[in-house]
Amino acid sequence: MKRHIMNIVNFVRGCEPRYEVDLLAPVIKELETDRRFGLEDTFLLQYDALLRDDMVAAFAGCGEETELGLWFEMCRALTEKVGIAWRGRPGYDWDWFVDPGFLEAYTPAEREALIDEAFRLFRERFGRYPEVAGSWLLDAHSMRYMAEKYGMKAFIICKEQINTDAYTLWGGPYSGGYFPSVNNALCPASTEENQIPVPVFRMLGIDPIYSYNGEGRYYPPIASGVYTMEPAWQLAQDPDVMDWFFREYYENPCLNYSHATTGQENSFGWEGFGRGYEMQIGKLKSLSDRGIVSVEQLGKTGEAFRKSFPLTPPSALLALTDWAKAGYRSVWYHSRFYRADLFVEKGRLTFRDLMKFDERLPERYLSAPCAEWSATYENLPVVDAHRWATANDAAHEAAIAFPGEVLSLSAEADDARGSLTVTAKMRSGGEILVTFSEREVTVQGAGSLLLIPAAAKAKIRPTSHGFDFSYEGYDYSVASSSQPISEGENYRIPEKDGKITLRMDL
């Protein structure tokens, strides 16, 4: 039986140098709200929150319904405790710049010392080591160290985004969980020997349509802020839009499971997000009572994931309606080898995103510290409509484009095969079938596909077997069932024996 999962994850800072805000009140209110509705939750505490007696006391009366873990943003108290000079800006005892605010800014040995001290203090305060941890960014070395030394059940990191604050995570699984490669925190491992055996989940309940290109032409004028379930923002305070989120996540076809998180950092203040938080928790209670969603702690989700899946399983996230009523549709598929997004805009059907996962690809901060204010995690692009666009319209955007005009999409999931088949009904009266499976994508009924590189950041070279790519000095390939044909700056992929197959596991 498929599981439809929601984690309520709130993270807790002990200081806020940017503005005056009551950091304790949100924690108390979140706990009160979750208890009032009878839902489990997870709270992740930063080191400076562990030093505050009032913060620790807020959890004194909590029973098994509340899970506690660590939130890894650095602060002066933590770095100085292990003998590392604090490099934050003047007046900032906690700093959101990557250097010095995240583990990536330190050497591997320093990361281990910082982790050990955080775990030590957590145990001193709560009598046990935590089993879950999170941060906007967690590097592979730190996750592997925590997994091996402390027996973690789950990690959680930021959603997909580009240059939001100082953090770019682009090309990873769009939702749900995965076992990361020992070389790259954002890349699923394809083999057991190269995976960190603790699942990573993505935070904040991402919008499968608009979060991808929120700063571009998909940005509806009726919303401000980020396009997630994060209760501080306008979108997540709208009851109708939240109903849409929950329907798309939990009532559409999916593979193996569906998963999202909600919750909020205490820095926003209860007055900034309380209304949205209480509304969402009330809706989740109703969904839980009806058996639609299991609201559970992050550690329980991670433990069940690990027991169920020896390797990262295929998963899918579908948006078959559009909360903004602009007519967009989006189908995300992920496996341990690739992610893909099949997208509909004004009748035009494309792959707007296709990313290859290679467990050998090293992240930038695997062994060398990040010495900048921002950091980037990414995977290997085959098509990237967001970053490869040359203008703010579809004709100048990278894609793998289908011929004809699509009228509707439907989908069928096959858990046993790990496949998702999408049927596109065309205005011509025909149908196009797109089948995503763990290692390849197969298209039937299209006749041909057109790869439009636009302003590609990767070098693309057609070959007799498909395409060779090079990105940031790293070479990789995608095989096609027929030889691509150059058409100016684009490449046509013709059908062979009634289908087009793109192999992603090379």
The pLDDT of residue 30: 98
**CATH code, domain carrying 164:** 3.20.20.510
Looking at the fold, whether 302 and 406 belong to one and the same domain comes out as no
Kindly report the average pLDDT of the chain as a whole number. Answer: 96
Q: What is the DSSP letter of 248?
A: H
Strand order in the sheet with 474-480: 406-414, 419-426, 431-436, 440-444, 500-503, 474-480, 466-471, 459-463
Please write the tens of the pLDDT for every residue from 128-150.
Answer: 999 999 999 999 999 999 999 99
Looking at the fold, whether 95 and 180 belong to one and the same domain comes out as yes
Average pLDDT over residues 158-164: 92
Looking at the fold, whether 297 and 347 belong to one and the same domain comes out as no
What is the number of other CB atoms lying within 10 angstroms of the CB of residue 435? 20
Task: Judge whether residue 215 has pLDDT over 70.
Answer: no
The percent of residues in the chain predicted with pLDDT above 70, rounded, is 98
Residue 116 lies in a domain: yes
Looking at the fold, whether 302 and 343 belong to one and the same domain comes out as no
Task: Judge whether residue 219 has pLDDT over 70.
Answer: no
Looking at the fold, whether 189 and 325 belong to one and the same domain comes out as no
Residue 46 lies in a domain: yes
> Between the CA of residue 152 and those of 49, 67, 119, 285, what are the distances in Å?
21, 13, 12, 28
The pLDDT of residue 61: 85
The pLDDT of residue 394: 64
Residue 132 lies in a domain: yes
Task: Judge whether residue 392 has pLDDT over 70.
Answer: no
The pLDDT of residue 181: 98
d(CA 384, CA 245): 24
The pLDDT of residue 195: 98
d(CA 382, CA 461): 11
Residue 371 lies in a domain: no
What is the pTM (predicted TM-score) of this model? 0.96
List the Cα angle 414/191/470 in 5-degree steps: 95
d(CA 200, CA 211): 20
Residue 431 lies in a domain: yes
Residues 6+ apart with CB under 8 A from 149: none
- Please, is 166 exposed, middle or buried when counting C-beta atoms within 10 Å of its C-beta (0-12, 13-18, 19+)? buried
CA 333 to chain centre: 13
Residue 85 lies in a domain: yes
Instruction: Return the beta strands (E) in 27-153 as ranges.
Output: 41-45, 66-71, 132-134
Could you tell me which of 377, 399, 401 has the C-alpha nearest to residue 390? 399
Looking at the fold, whether 266 and 383 belong to one and the same domain comes out as no
> How many CA atoms within 13 Å lie on the side-chain side of 500?
22
Instruction: Tell me the one-letter amino acid at 198.
Output: V
pLDDT band at 164 (very low <50, low <70, confident <90, very high): confident
Residue 299 lies in a domain: yes
Please write the tens of the pLDDT for every residue from 316-351.
Answer: 999 999 999 999 999 999 999 999 999 999 999 999
Q: Do β-strands 200-202 and 419-426 pair in parallel, antiparallel, or remain unpaired? A: unpaired
Could you tell me which of 75, 65, 64 has the C-alpha nearest to residue 12? 75
Looking at the fold, whether 430 and 304 belong to one and the same domain comes out as no
How big is the chain by its Cα radius of gyration, in Å?
22
Average pLDDT over residues 479-502: 97
Q: Residue 190 has which token pair?
A: 């394809």
Task: Let me know: does 228 contact 161? Beta carbons within 8 Å.
Answer: no
CB environment 32-47: b (16+ within 10 A), e (fewer): ebbeebebbbbbbbbb
The pLDDT of residue 163: 84
Looking at the fold, whether 183 and 320 belong to one and the same domain comes out as no
Looking at the fold, whether 37 and 133 belong to one and the same domain comes out as yes
Instruction: Tell me the one-letter amino acid at 211.
Output: S
Looking at the fold, whether 297 and 429 belong to one and the same domain comes out as no
Domain that holds residue 23: 3-204+257-272+293-308
Residue 483 phi, psi (nearest 5): -75, 130
Please write the tens of the pLDDT for every residue from 270-307.
Answer: 999 999 999 999 999 999 999 999 999 999 999 999 99
Task: Judge whether residue 50 has pLDDT over 80.
Answer: yes
Looking at the fold, whether 266 and 332 belong to one and the same domain comes out as no
Please write the tens of the pLDDT for every residue from 92-132.
Answer: 999 999 999 999 999 999 999 999 999 999 999 999 999 99
> Between the CA of residue 506 and those of 119, 153, 338, 356, 399, what are the distances in Å?
40, 31, 11, 9, 21
Could you tell me which of 381, 385, 336, 388 has the C-alpha nearest to residue 476? 381
Residue 189 lies in a domain: yes
Q: What is the DSSP letter of 140?
A: H
Helices 140-150 + 108-126 axis angle, to 10: 40
Instruction: Identify the H or E element spanning 185.
Output: strand 184-188
Could you tell me which of 35, 31, 59 has the C-alpha nearest to residue 122? 59
Looking at the fold, whether 341 and 298 belong to one and the same domain comes out as no
pLDDT band at 487 (very low <50, low <70, confident <90, very high): very high
DSSP characters for 362-423? PPTTSSS---SS-EEEE-EEEEETTTT-SSSSGGGS-EEEPSS-EEEEEEEEETTTTEEEEE
Task: Judge whether residue 264 has pLDDT over 80.
Answer: yes
Q: Could you give the number of structural domains in the chain? A: 2
The percent of residues in the chain predicted with pLDDT above 90, rounded, is 93
